[in-house]
Structure 1
Amino acid sequence: MMRILLLSNYKDYGDTFYNNLIKLGHDVFYTTLDLNLFRNPRKKISSISQIFSVVIFDETISNSKIVELLPHFKGSMDYIFRKIGENLAVDTMQCKKKVDDFEYIYKETPIDELRELFEKINEESHFLNRCIESLYNVEAFNFSKKEKLIYEYLLNHRNQIVTRETLCKECWNNSVTQSSLSSLSICISKIRKKLEQEGFPSKCLITYWKKGYMLDFKVVF
């Protein structure tokens, strides 16, 4: 079914949640590896995303550690969960406000609900992979040279906000001027239009006012 990475500070093979995932036929890698290994370099996180479709931080991992690690997973992992008890603690809610890049999943979630949840994720994952393949077929969009540079940079940093200044430096030889910023805005509009022409929603290329842009793959659903 799916390959799931379950991160913990203590492996409990009697855990009902873990065993329910196994019963549902999922390949669960339950690890207590030193989480320092996941911090750097980023390539390690990228390689993890090529193996696993879902990562779950269990309730033994502190919120502060999740907040620290999450930026390294963001952009590489499309499905990130935080396993918690039935009663949300105040600090857990604060953690969500800080990062808001994962979903909560209760450790007491019944097996039938887990079945439906991960079946839906599995379907979305297959569809997302097909869309990603299409989005990586850069030549199909007939981009100009500059549009291609911008698009490829956003593609390599998918699901992350890339600042306008960063894009200008990457695509205009370290030049951040009103002219390059204006040209960037025009290129973004053209890229968005060409994505639409190939059947992708315009909202998959998001503009964050005065911040930058993000190529968001999840909105293709």
Structure 2
Amino acid sequence: MVSVLLLTKNILVEQKLQTKLQRLNYEVFCCTNMLYLMTQQSKKLPMISYFDYIILSETISENELQQLLVLLPESKIILRKLEKEPEKQVEGIHGWISEEASVEELRENLCQWEKCPSSQEVILSLVGSRIGNTGETTSTGSLSISKLERRALEQLYQANGKVISREELCEYLWSDGATKSRLAQLSILIKKLRIAFKKDGVSGETVQTSWGEGYLLTNTALEYYEQEREQEALLS
């Protein structure tokens, strides 16, 4: 069963969404205390790792949201509950959901962010593999990423520090272009790239978000990836 943590300041206002998620057989844990511990005491809570999805209620302010994003695990799917679609993407948030959506709409939206079971992810990490949309992995030197992630990284690298729009990246990566589903997948893909750089020991910002425009590689990421490509060329 897929588990959902719904962080809120008022559990009563979450009953409508909670009921719909439970109809879809999601195990929902609605909590105010965990929210308090993280925002007021800046505590990282190990039990969060047991949840597949983390939903942040509209009762949480933008300042509190930024505090939470620092404390939440990067490996989790983090969604924002809002009454209407936000005007801009928030770094670290995979997408948004509304309690006014039908059960069918919620089902399809949540399917966009479905992940492999945690136990499978642990096994894959132990053997040094990363799963992408193609189910295959590739390696640029020591940077281990999927083929789809590699294609996105190549596009960003070729831009040489200039911004590539999210729509342009979607058009390049998928035949159906910049649909809502593909834009959500792109957010996850970019997050995976950042995690891959971090796992490989690259400190600082690597894939930068330019609000309202798109993504770009920082000088740190450009230099690192260039070295990786040179190493790969020597080995081939």
Please report the TM-score for the alignment, with normalisation by the length of structure 1.
0.55
Whole-Å Cα distance in 2 between the matches of residues 10 and 41 of structure 1? 20
Deviation at 1:100, TM superposition (A): 5.1
Indicate the structure (1 or 2) with the bigger Cα radius of gyration. 1
Cα pair 2:9 2:60 within 8 Å, conserved: yes
Is 1:62 paired with 2:53? no
Whole-Å Cα distance in 2 between the matches of residues 104 and 14 of structure 1? 15
What is aligned with 2:95?
Answer: 103
Q: Please give the per-residue CA displacement for 1:141-195, whole angstroms capped at 9, x wherever unaligned.
A: 8xxxxxxxxxxxxx9xxxxxxxxxxxxxxxxxxxxxxxxxxxxxxxx94213xx4
Cα pair 1:7 1:31 within 8 Å, conserved: yes
Q: Which runs of 5+ in 1 are unaligned?
A: 142-154, 156-187, 215-221
Identity %: 22
Change (3 A) 1:209 1:76: same
Root-mean-square deviation (Å) = 3.3
SS in 2 for 1:12: helix
Deviation at 1:14, TM superposition (A): 7.2
Name the structure with the higher helix share: 1
Deviation at 1:125, TM superposition (A): 3.1
Cα pair 2:4 2:54 within 8 Å, conserved: yes
What is aligned with 1:32?
Answer: 32
Deviation at 1:137, TM superposition (A): 2.2
Amino acid aligned to 2:219: K
Alignment of 1:1-221 (within 5 A): 1-12=1-12, 15-33=15-33, 35-38=35-38, 40-42=42-44, 44=45, 46-49=46-49, 51-77=50-76, 79-86=77-84, 88=85, 93=87, 96-97=89-90, 99=91, 101-122=93-114, 124-126=115-117, 130-138=120-128, 189-192=140-143, 195=144, 200-201=146-147, 203=150, 204=193, 205=196, 208-212=217-221
Count of residue correspondences:
150
Q: Which runs of 5+ in 2 are unaligned?
A: 131-138, 151-192, 198-205, 207-216, 226-236
By relative contact order (CA 8 Å, sep 6+), the higher-ranking structure is 1
Cα pair 2:78 2:92 within 8 Å, conserved: no
Change (3 A) 1:118 1:101: closer
Q: Please give the per-residue CA displacement for 1:100-147, whole angstroms capped at 9, x wherever unaligned.
A: 53311122110111123334544x333x86355223324xx8xxxxxx
Whole-Å Cα distance in 1 between the matches of residues 5 and 126 of structure 2? 26
SS in 2 for 1:15: helix
Deviation at 1:85, TM superposition (A): 0.7
What is aligned with 1:176?
Answer: none
